[in-house]
């Protein structure tokens, strides 16, 4: 169960080779019978921990379970690769966890939304097969409390869950019954979608006037008529509710039509003969590409968590994190319809006020503290991006 969850938590699943280095004890043993330890197993032994097992792995690092030799406490150990991408940075991530470790008590009631951190540092960790004096690799090194997966019903309410299972489909329908009945939240979703169109193609041809004309038409039709979703095999398989597909269909078709009605202005007047005819022809010739871009941008907006709203910088155009800095409009309406998000959103605002800016909070990096109902943001790698 843990491995499945942490594979969601770490953004791109990888299967690196790693060394467990020893047997996997179920309880502390002051003098266990072990073969010679190397790599991380030996490094953790020097720190006072037994390495138990791998919980998950991904592009940014690996998460393990370990046991405190003296107390028997189970902890999560995260090692973070130096060479990362998409706004990730090992040293910043360590700094973020260290901020939590050093300031946990000062965060007041909001501290429950962050993990208890026992150690956060950059370390030279022996590679597989090496001892403490052998070849090492510089990595971020985090020891924190071990948490449990977020209950599925909570995760499905706060976040869009992909997959084609009956349970996930039903969850999307329930979410959208709450979300898509509210014009403010629908308007917010459309705004995020237009902000996520492909910057290399569609963005250059999509004018403010086209967006301004498309929005009221989309809203009117969505709330007054039943629209048949686009007859496209790719769209039919998308992890969306039928109402979501209806809204997407209106968004794609009406936006494209208004792009034809509101052409981008000529940058240098008089430089291109018959400019309007040619730019309109370009849009018509690019209809397939533009509509594919619009489908993708809408789905990205549709899949944005209700707790989205970072206080960091805007990521670059090519970043997979584009849009995670967008905040839902109609915040009061969102919290009224989804009261389960109130606490974590308030905490994120408080953290931002402490210059600890939340970013990239999604279903994969929120867990539950055992024995409580506390939701915990466990991945702080892209705070303060």
Please give the full DSSP string across 74-102, using - where no structure is assigned.
EEEEEEE-SS--TT--HHHHHHHHHHHHH
Split into its structural domains, the chain has a count of 2
pLDDT at 84: 61
Looking at the predicted structure, is the pLDDT value of residue 319 above 90?
Answer: no
Shared-domain flag, residues 79 and 206? no
Shared-domain flag, residues 130 and 169? no
pLDDT single digits (tens) 57-91? 766 679 999 999 999 999 999 999 887 655 457 88
Question: 363 in helix, strand or coil?
Answer: helix
From residue 369, alpha-carbon distances to 72, 119, 298 in Å are 18, 18, 34
- pLDDT above 90: percentage of residues in the chain: 42
pLDDT at 270: 56
Shared-domain flag, residues 138 and 172? no
Shared-domain flag, residues 21 and 141? yes
pLDDT at 293: 95
Give residue 59's domain range: 2-152+357-377
pLDDT at 14: 34
In-domain check, residue 22: yes
- Identify the residue with better confidence: 224 or 385: 224
Domain boundary among 263, 285, 304: 304
Shared-domain flag, residues 131 and 206? no
Looking at the predicted structure, is the pLDDT value of residue 183 above 70?
Answer: yes
Distance of CA 353 to the CA centre of its chain: 21
In-domain check, residue 317: no
The angle formed by the CA atoms of residues 316, 317 and 319, to the nearest 5 degrees, is: 65
Whole-number Å distance between alpha carbons of 24 and 39: 15
Shared-domain flag, residues 134 and 74? yes
The pTM of this model reads 0.71
pLDDT at 3: 42
Q: Got the DSSP string for 32-70?
A: -------HHHHHHHHHTEEEEEEEEE-SSEEEEEEEETT
Indicate which CATH number applies to the domain containing 28.
3.30.200.20
Whole-number Å distance between alpha carbons of 79 and 90: 9
pLDDT single digits (tens) 204-247? 899 999 999 999 999 999 999 888 887 777 777 788 888 999 99
- Tokens, residue 284: 């018509």
């Amino acid at each position: 169960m843990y491995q499945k969850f942490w594979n969601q938590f770490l953004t791109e699943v990888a299967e690196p080779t790693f060394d467990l280095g020893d047997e996997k004890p179920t309880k502390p043993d002051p003098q266990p019978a072990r073969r010679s330890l190397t790599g991380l197993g030996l490094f953790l032994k020097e720190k006072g921990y037994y390495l138990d097992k791998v919980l998950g792995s991904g592009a940014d690092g690996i998460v393990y379970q370990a046991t405190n030799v003296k107390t028997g406490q189970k902890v999560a150990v995260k090692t973070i690769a130096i060479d990362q991408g998409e706004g990730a940075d090992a040293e910043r991530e360590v700094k973020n966890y260290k901020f939590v470790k050093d300031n946990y008590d000062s965060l007041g009631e909001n501290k429950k939304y962050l993990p208890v951190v026992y150690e956060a540092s950059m370390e030279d960790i022996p590679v597989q097969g090496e001892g403490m004096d052998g070849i090492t690799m510089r990595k971020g090194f985090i020891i924190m409390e071990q948490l449990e997966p977020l209950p599925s019903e909570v995760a499905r309410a706060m976040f869009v869950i992909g997959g084609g299972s009956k349970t996930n489909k039903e969850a999307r329908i329930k979410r959208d019954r709450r979300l898509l009945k509210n014009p403010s939240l629908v308007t917010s979703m459309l705004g995020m979608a237009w902000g996520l169109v492909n910057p290399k193609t569609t963005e250059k041809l999509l004018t403010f006037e086209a967006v301004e004309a498309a929005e009221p038409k989309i809203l009117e039709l969505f709330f007054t008529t039943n629209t048949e979703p686009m007859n496209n095999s790719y769209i039919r398989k998308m992890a969306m509710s039928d109402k979501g597909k209806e809204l997407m269909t209106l968004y794609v078709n009406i936006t494209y039509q208004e792009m034809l009605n509101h052409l981008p202005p000529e940058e240098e007047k008089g430089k291109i003969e018959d400019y309007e005819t040619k730019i309109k022809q370009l849009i018509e010739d690019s209809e397939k590409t533009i509509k594919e871009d619009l489908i993708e941008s809408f789905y990205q907006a549709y899949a944005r968590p209700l707790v989205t709203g970072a206080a960091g910088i805007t990521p670059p155009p090519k970043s997979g994190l584009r849009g995670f800095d967008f905040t839902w409009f109609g915040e009061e309406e969102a919290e009224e319809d989804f009261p389960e998000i109130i606490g974590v959103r308030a905490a994120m605002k408080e953290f931002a006020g402490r210059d600890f800016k939340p970013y990239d909070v999604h279903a994969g990096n929120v867990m539950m503290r055992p024995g409580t109902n506390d939701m915990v943001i466990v991945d702080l790698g892209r705070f303060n991006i």
